[in-house]
């Protein structure tokens, strides 16, 4: 029988590939905003934010920090205003860092033990006006030493045990002034256990310790050192006590020691370059784990925003979401008030 014009022709290759027999189509879950929100694995909220601020002597003054555009040093009264703003935005906590008058710095960092030093003044002032805000204080000697190191220096060598003795006293001074969380950032061996014992013996059993468990000897700290005034005074570097950026397993060992010594929370510093460490610590220990989006990270992102190279809100939120995806329970970030306002706006 002769073929007719109604004969079915073979399906062409383009038509065949356009009708893929797919059961799994991940794009279905991305089709709309509501669908994406329903299946989102990680979420960022204001409860994840800790706002680091810099304080200085004086009154009613804010001093811009050139290497951290948009960040200022605040006098104590202005720090109280910042705490009021944080409370209004529902940011849970502030982290305090001092810019100490250079005339008060000495090789031993003795101003750190002054019960009325700048940090203690700020703690008392904020607790008097904004008692609901959490206050986290840095325990390390670098803002107070004339050489810019976190511990006592002897012929170029950092003295571990002698430094720990001073750090315990520094922590007690801060706890007495109202610190809610002591955050030792010095990376001396044994300091968490010594501080915990000192706090407990003095009756500060409810004061928490957020250990800088994995603090790396990083190039990302430059603007921070400008902010606290140690960039020009630091002699040598901190590689004998801060961690080597090439090490990951060592971070697990450091964190394990801090957990054993009584740390309530762990921190990784810097942040974005060390997301793998955040993940590993959270997976290994299950403790509340935090990351510090440090000054260099902030300065690069803010610089790009100010040059119009990136979408400001989107890049900031995306960077912070990376911390949450890596397992961080919270983030110390200079973007905290900006992000809180953005989240409140919806």
> Where in the sequence numbering do the catalytic residues fall?
215, 269
Residue 104: strand, helix, or coil: helix
Report the first-to-last Cα separation within the chain, whole angstroms: 71
- Cα separation, 151 vs 112, whole angstroms: 11
User: How many other β-carbons are positioned within 10 Å of the β-carbon of residue 243?
Assistant: 22
Residue 168: strand, helix, or coil: helix
Contact 128, 169 (CB under 8 A): no
- Cα separation, 166 vs 113, whole angstroms: 8
Contact 277, 214 (CB under 8 A): yes
What 8-state DSSP symbol labels residue 40?
-
Which among 222, 163, 232, 175 is positioned nearest to 200, based on CA atoms?
175
**How many residues are there in the chain?**
346
Q: What are the residues facing 243 on neighbouring strands?
A: 216
Contact 94, 119 (CB under 8 A): no
Residue linked to tokens 């004339």: 146
What 8-state DSSP symbol labels residue 330?
E
Contact 87, 130 (CB under 8 A): yes
The tokens for 10 are: 């073979």
* Exposed/middle/buried for residue 191 (C-beta within 10 Å: 0-12, 13-18, 19+): buried
**CA 164 from centroid of its chain's CA atoms:** 23
């Amino acid at each position: 029988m002769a073929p007719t014009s109604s004969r079915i022709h073979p399906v062409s290759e383009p038509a065949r590939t356009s009708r893929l027999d797919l059961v799994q189509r991940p794009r279905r879950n991305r089709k709309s905003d509501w669908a994406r929100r329903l299946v989102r694995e990680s979420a960022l909220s204001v409860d994840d934010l800790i706002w680091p601020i810099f304080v200085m002597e004086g009154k009613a003054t804010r001093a811009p920090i050139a290497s951290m555009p948009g960040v200022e040093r605040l006098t104590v009264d202005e720090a109280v205003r910042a705490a009021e703003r944080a409370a209004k935005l529902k940011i849970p906590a502030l982290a305090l860092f001092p810019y100490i008058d250079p005339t008060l710095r000495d090789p031993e960092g003795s101003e750190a033990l002054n019960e009325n030093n700048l940090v203690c003044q700020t703690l008392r002032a904020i607790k008097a006006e904004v008692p609901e805000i959490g206050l986290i204080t840095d325990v390390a000697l670098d803002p107070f030493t004339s050489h810019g190191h976190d511990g006592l220096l002897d012929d170029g060598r950092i003295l571990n045990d002698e430094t720990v003795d001073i750090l315990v006293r520094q922590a007690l001074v801060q706890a007495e002034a109202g610190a809610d969380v002591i955050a030792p950032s010095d990376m001396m061996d044994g300091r968490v256990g010594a501080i915990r014992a000192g706090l407990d013996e003095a009756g500060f059993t409810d004061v928490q310790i957020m250990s800088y468990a994995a603090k790396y000897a990083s190039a990302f700290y430059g603007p921070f050192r400008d902010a606290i005034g140690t960039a020009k005074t630091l002699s040598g570097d901190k590689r004998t006590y801060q961690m080597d950026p090439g090490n990951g397993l060592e971070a697990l060992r450091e964190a394990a020691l801090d957990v054993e010594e009584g740390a309530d929370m762990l921190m990784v510093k810097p942040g974005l370059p060390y997301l793998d460490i955040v993940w590993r610590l959270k997976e290994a220990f299950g403790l509340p784990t935090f990351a510090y989006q440090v000054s260099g990270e902030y300065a690069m992102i803010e610089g790009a925003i100010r040059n119009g190279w990136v979408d400001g809100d989107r890049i900031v939120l995306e960077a912070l979401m990376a911390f949450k995806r890596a397992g961080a329970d919270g983030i110390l970030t200079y973007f905290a008030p900006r992000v809180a306002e953005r989240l409140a706006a919806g």
